[in-house]
Structure 1
């Protein structure tokens, strides 16, 4: 990674402004053109330095305040198929297979977000119906302590 690429990552990792010229301030600070900023970001993606460059919505700011981690007891031989099906559901934002632990039979975890707890419960019920998995729990977030992406 070049020094200019490192600086671009440092200046963008907390987000970029939502304006018609989001790279203007970055280019000014680095004394390069906006086109060069875009070129370097594209190059870093092509080189695998960064996997994606995308937008994330502040869901609480738009009223999505119910967040639920749904944990599922999926037969081991069905984890791959059920996991792929769950991951394909639009309401699911995260889907992971995890090891079982003594006293904790759940091995697939999904995250859903909505405007109310009742909506999240309805989503979980729909996932259950779509997958045929009826051994699950829905756990709601109480407080968010930290939410960030990977930082340089």
Structure 2
């Protein structure tokens, strides 16, 4: 069972993080608490496995990246960890994850590549293929963004 202050901390980190030198201090002040206590609650929630991950959403089109592609790769299962780490190391890659292949769709590794143009995406994917030795892949370019939100818990009034 979560305490009321834990719920408030969770609600506070769901929104935009202040673009300041000490964003957690600002979030903590908004709850009438010290930054150290705020961070302590976050750490406790993590240790209890109540927070699985904490991330940021990049609004890639607003930041100048007008092209992006989900690339589905067919990677040898025994090398997927190594290949995934190599691909995740590319600056243009925001997501890299493994999925089970399905009948008619043999791909098991996925990367999200962001660039300023589709040609740039293709160039980056070519570099990734060359560096990893993978040649079986499919590029799926985004046409338009339909949703860019996350689950929200314990909304504030």
**Coarse TM-score class (shorter-chain normalised):** 0.7 to 0.9
- Please name the residue that 1:94 is paired with: 95
Aligned structure 1 segments of 4 or more residues deviating by more than 6 angstroms: none
TM-score normalised according to structure 2 size: 0.77
Q: Flag structure 2 segments of 5+ consecutive residues without an equivalent.
A: none
- Please name the residue that 1:73 is paired with: 74
Rounded Cα–Cα distance in structure 1 between residues aligned with 2:27 and 2:46:
21
Rounded Cα–Cα distance in structure 2 between residues aligned with 1:38 and 1:74:
39
- Please name the residue that 1:63 is paired with: 64
Identify which range, 63-72 or 8-17, moves more after superposition: 8-17
Rounded Cα–Cα distance in structure 2 between residues aligned with 1:83 and 1:25:
35
Alpha-carbon distance, 1:43 to partner: 3.7
TM-score normalised according to structure 1 size: 0.79
Residues 105-142 of structure 1, C-alpha deviations (whole Å, 9 max, x = no match): 22211111111111110010001101111111111111
- Please name the residue that 2:16 is paired with: 15
Contact in 2 for aligned 1:27/1:37 (Cα 8 Å): no
Taking a change above 3 Å as real, the CA distance of residues 151 and 123 of structure 1, as seen in their structure-2 partners, is same
Rounded Cα–Cα distance in structure 1 between residues aligned with 2:105 and 2:57:
32
Contact in 2 for aligned 1:97/1:107 (Cα 8 Å): yes
Rounded Cα–Cα distance in structure 2 between residues aligned with 1:75 and 1:110:
16
Q: Flag structure 1 segments of 5+ consecutive residues without an equivalent.
A: none
- Please name the residue that 1:130 is paired with: 131
Number of paired residues?
151
Residues 12-44 of structure 1, C-alpha deviations (whole Å, 9 max, x = no match): 20223324664446534x343455434433443
